[in-house]
């Protein structure tokens, strides 16, 4: 790989990331409008006819359907704005446009530098936000999780904003140790797993803040199920990332494990998510307890991704945190 940097493509990458932030914020507004004014989950569409009572009196099937079940049972029908569903659909389109801009920013950065585009913390953070949004949009094709859009898009926009403001470095070559196909395997797997873990974390926060009567959000069981499925998918990918990192370390430094701070916190993160999966499979530890464990695990992940590079040295200190 050459050391020459295509400044035009590098500038285009920076501009595409800024466009991505704006698009993600626009999508967030659309999702938020639908969440605030849209039809509550489980509530039938408003009848076109003014006739609300069936012949013979008594409780109609529609009335019974609107009564609801579960933790929100007994709540009255909630008025909603018909245009809110359109706002949600527009938000999905804007999300895909933001996704394309995010992808374009990553690809042009890589082409401009002549290497894999996740060689420092700025590029890594941009890629993680892309992975989280990709996970959301792919799941959206098969599941009704549009309610997550407002929260996930806000998190992605804040993540990209943090990267631009505090982690940004100019496109350029990387140290020789990173010029390896292991960068694609090890770091690529870590990016995919991190995106899934962050989607689970957003869902977990919603689980904790949700209160009975919040009819535009799914019940807590649904939220817990979404988070659990994301972690079940992410955990083996993170496991592969840790193993691939050990294999790369042996090739680069002549040992599989050296208790480097990044290695230690990667293992701590693995243990934390393993504890969550064990707790979730154990009677009495589902629900709020297991959600708290997965959020603690996400905190370990965040510290591993950012904090270790800021507060510790070691063999992974080439992450290019701006001074």
C-alpha span between 116 and 123 (Å, rounded): 10
d(CA 180, CA 107): 18
What's the residue count for the chain? 323
In the numeric block, which tokens belong to residue 42?
A: 């489980």
What pLDDT was estimated at residue 313? 61
Mean pLDDT in residue range 137-160? 91
Per-residue confidence at 74, pLDDT binned at 50, 70, 90?
Answer: very low
Count of C-beta atoms within a 10 Å radius of residue 6: 15
How far from chain centre, in Å, is Cα 264? 24
Q: How confident is the model at residue 63 (pLDDT cuts 50, 70, 90)?
A: very low
Q: How confident is the model at residue 277 (pLDDT cuts 50, 70, 90)?
A: very high
More confident residue, 225 or 253: 225
For the stretch 79-123, pLDDT in tens is 667 888 899 999 999 999 999 999 999 999 999 988 888 878 899
Higher pLDDT among residues 168 and 73, named by residue? 168
How does pLDDT run across 199-223, given as a tens digit for each residue? Answer: 999 999 999 888 776 667 788 888 8
Specify the pLDDT at position 40: 72
Residues 100, 208: Cα–Cα separation, whole Å: 32
pLDDT score recorded for residue 58: 41
CA distance 246 to 227: 28
Q: Confidence class of residue 78 from pLDDT cuts 50, 70 and 90?
A: low
Least confident range of 24-28, 45-49, 91-95, 292-296: 45-49
Q: Kindly indicate the confidence band of residue 44, based on its pLDDT and cuts at 50, 70 and 90.
A: low
Mean pLDDT over the full length of the chain:
82
* Residue 174 pLDDT > 90: no
pLDDT for residue 270: 95
Instruction: Answer for the pair 316, 304: CB distance below 8 angstroms, yes or no.
Output: no
What's the confidence (pLDDT) of residue 200?
94
In the prediction, which pLDDT does 213 show? 67
pTM of the model: 0.81
Ramachandran class of 59: left when φ > 0, alpha when ψ lies in -120 to 50, beta otherwise: beta
The residue extents of the domains of the chain are 7-41+67-311
């Amino acid at each position: 790989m050459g050391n020459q940097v295509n400044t035009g493509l590098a500038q285009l990458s920076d501009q595409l990331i800024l466009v991505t932030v704006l698009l993600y914020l626009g999508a967030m507004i659309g999702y938020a409008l639908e969440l605030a004014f849209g039809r509550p989950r489980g509530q039938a569409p408003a009848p076109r006819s003014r006739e609300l009572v069936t012949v013979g009196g008594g409780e109609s099937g529609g009335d019974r359907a609107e009564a609801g079940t579960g933790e929100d049972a007994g709540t009255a029908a909630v008025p909603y704005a018909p245009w809110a569903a359109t706002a949600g659909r527009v938000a999905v389109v804007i999300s895909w446009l933001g996704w394309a801009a995010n992808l374009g920013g990553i690809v042009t950065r890589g082409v401009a530098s002549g290497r894999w585009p996740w060689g420092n913390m700025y590029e890594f953070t941009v890629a993680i936000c892309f992975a989280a949004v990709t996970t959301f949009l792919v799941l959206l094709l098969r599941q009704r999780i549009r309610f997550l859009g407002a929260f996930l898009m806000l998190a992605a926009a804040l993540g990209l904003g943090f990267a631009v403001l505090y982690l940004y470095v100019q496109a350029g070559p990387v140290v020789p140790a990173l010029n390896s196909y292991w960068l694609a395997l090890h770091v690529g797997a870590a990016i995919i797993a991190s995106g899934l873990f962050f989607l689970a974390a957003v869902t977990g926060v919603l689980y904790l803040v949700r209160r009975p009567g919040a009819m535009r959000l799914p019940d807590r069981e649904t939220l817990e199920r979404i988070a659990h499925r994301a972690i079940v998918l992410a955990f083996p990918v993170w496991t592969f990332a840790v193993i691939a990192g050990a294999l790369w370390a042996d090739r680069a430094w002549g040992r599989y494990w050296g208790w480097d701070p990044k290695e230690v916190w990667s293992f701590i993160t693995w243990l934390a998510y393993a504890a969550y999966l064990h707790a979730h499979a154990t009677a009495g530890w589902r629900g709020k307890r297991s959600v708290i464990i997965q959020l603690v695990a996400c905190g370990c992940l965040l510290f591993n991704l950012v904090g270790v590079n800021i507060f510790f040295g070691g063999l992974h200190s080439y992450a290019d945190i701006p001074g």
